[in-house]
Amino acid sequence: MPTRRCLPALALVFVVLQPWSCKKSPVASTSPAPPGISATFNPASAGTDAAVSFIIAVSANSKEIRSFGGEVAFDARMFVFQGVAKGSLTGSWALVDANESSPGTVRLGGSAGGSAAVAVNSSGTLIEIRFKVSGGDYGNGQQSRVCLAQLTDDLTQFASGEACAGFTLRK
């Protein structure tokens, strides 16, 4: 028959064997983001005669990027092509350029030349395509979708095959 002296001993065993902290610390996800190519407008809305940029970015690329190419389709009544600028990942590259091949179509490309390639698993911008908003005879609120497609060279690693962004005219 147990005596009352055993209860404090059993309580001590329970306290010693009990885990001190039942809470688990949250574990941050370490899985990498899926490879992606994206496009954004800066700004996403503007008025007639404003300068806007269509920016192409990559994230979590699975292979180095030493060269790239593609085609941007845009509404020639909404935008006038002005030129390009190198992106944050291609600032030291030998060539990043684009030409309007026909109204509403810009062919773009880039090559690292002797400069460093975009490293695997990078995130940043490749190219900035600059437009002037013409607006044509469109009214306030007219929306336009611009897309980069027909990816070539090292951009073929991106499964989506295109990157699009929307723009809204403000008058």
Please choose, from the candidates 171, 165, 169, the residue with its C-alpha nearest in 3D space to the C-alpha of residue 53: 165
Angle at 87 between CA 82 and CA 91, to 5 degrees: 110
73 in helix, strand or coil?
strand
As a whole number, mean pLDDT of residues 36-59 equals 96
Per-residue pLDDT for 11 more than 70?
A: no
As a whole number, mean pLDDT of residues 21-37 equals 50
Which band of pLDDT confidence, cut at 50, 70 and 90, is reported for residue 35? low
What tokens were used for 169? 């005219």
Count of Cβ atoms closer than 10 Å to residue 126 Cβ? 25
Condensed to tens digits (0 to 9), the pLDDT of residues 74-99 reads 999 999 999 999 999 999 999 999 99
Count of Cβ atoms closer than 10 Å to residue 24 Cβ? 6
**Domains plus CATH for the chain?**
36-158 (2.60.40.680)
Condensed to tens digits (0 to 9), the pLDDT of residues 132-170 reads 999 888 999 999 999 999 999 999 998 777 899 999 999
pLDDT more than 90, % of the chain: 74
